């Protein structure tokens, strides 16, 4: 239906239900960051650590999304721009740390990678389902959907990497996944920045 917020690119988050959903997703992401980063360090998995950073970034940006709800369009678009740039920085961090790991290769713990990836995927599928009808809102709202979608995709890829590491015993698969996640961050950053920039121009027209 055309008037439904799920198909309205002007939806700005002004909904009690949407705000409740954001609080739930913020809590989910904060807990998963702590779990996945601890596991990633313990398992020496660059892919898990990269995905954990995404959970941290989501926790912070979802908090920002919550704060700007109901504020002027210019503030919302600026917040979306900030999210886009934060994803860009995250991508560069993952690229840099992965390149570093190339020179100090250690095969990660495949069992830990797989178990945490399954837990993270479950958490993100819950988030994606909760946000499904809000995926086409303004840049601020859409960025929340993109981040959750990225997480779910990333978890599946990490799970595949865990299988590859278990079969081959090689760390290169883990590093390849970290590069893939960084590329995904770059793609989402570009989409968010483009939409936010367009909305900023409309505000000043």
Residues 145-170, mean pLDDT to the nearest whole number: 76
Give Cβ neighbours of residue 81 (< 8 Å, ≥ 6 apart): 192, 193, 196, 197, 200
191 found inside a domain: yes
* pLDDT bracket for residue 16 (50, 70, 90): confident
Q: Please choose, from the candidates 75, 63, 204, the residue with its C-alpha nearest in 3D space to the C-alpha of residue 139.
A: 75
* φ and ψ of 98, to 5 deg: -70, -40
User: How high is the pLDDT of residue 6?
Assistant: 41
Determine, yes or no, domain membership for 3.
Answer: no
* pLDDT at residue number 34: 93
At residue 26 the predicted structure's pLDDT band, cuts being 50, 70 and 90, is: very high
- Taking residue 71's Cβ as centre, other Cβ atoms within 10 Å add up to 14
**Residue 125: inside a domain, yes or no?**
yes
pLDDT interval class at 111 (50, 70, 90): confident
Q: Is the pLDDT of residue 153 over 90?
A: no
- Assigned domain for 23 exists: yes
Does residue 1 sit within a domain?
no
Mean pLDDT of 163-173: 71
As a whole number, mean pLDDT of residues 64-81 equals 78
**Cβ-Cβ contacts under 8 Å for 24 (sequence gap 6 or more):** 130
Out of 93-97, 124-128, 195-199, pick the least confident.
93-97
CATH of the domain at 196: 1.20.1510
Do the domain assignments include residue 196?
A: yes
What percentage of the chain reaches a pLDDT higher than 90?
7
Q: How confident is the model at residue 171 (pLDDT cuts 50, 70, 90)?
A: low
Q: What is the pLDDT of residue 42?
A: 84
Q: Establish if 6 belongs to a structural domain.
A: no
In this structure, is residue 183 part of a structural domain? yes
pLDDT at res. 25:
92
Domain boundaries, position 133? 13-204
Structurally, the chain folds into a number of domains equal to: 1
Looking at residues 109-126, what average pLDDT do you find?
83
Rounded to a whole number of angstroms, the CA Rg of the chain reads 17
């Amino acid at each position: 239906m055309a008037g439904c917020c799920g198909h309205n690119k002007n939806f700005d988050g002004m909904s009690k239900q949407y705000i409740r959903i954001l609080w739930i997703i913020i809590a989910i992401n904060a807990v998963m960051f702590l779990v996945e980063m601890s596991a990633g360090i313990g398992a020496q998995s660059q892919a898990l650590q990269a995905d954990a950073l995404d959970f941290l970034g989501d926790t912070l940006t979802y908090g920002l999304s919550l704060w700007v709800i109901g504020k002027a369009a210019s503030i919302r678009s600026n917040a979306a721009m900030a999210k886009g740039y934060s994803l860009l920085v995250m991508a560069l961090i993952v690229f840099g740390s992965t390149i570093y790991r190339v020179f100090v290769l250690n095969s990660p713990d495949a069992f830990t990678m797989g178990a945490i990836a399954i837990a993270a995927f479950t958490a993100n599928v819950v988030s994606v389902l909760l946000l499904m009808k809000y995926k086409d809102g303004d840049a601020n709202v859409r960025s929340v959907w993109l981040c959750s979608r990225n997480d779910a995709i990333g978890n599946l890829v990490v799970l595949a990497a865990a299988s590859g590491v278990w079969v081959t015993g090689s760390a290169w698969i883990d590093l390849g996944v970290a590069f893939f996640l960084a590329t995904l961050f770059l793609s989402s950053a570009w989409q968010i920045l483009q939409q936010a920039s367009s909305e900023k121009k409309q505000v000043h027209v």
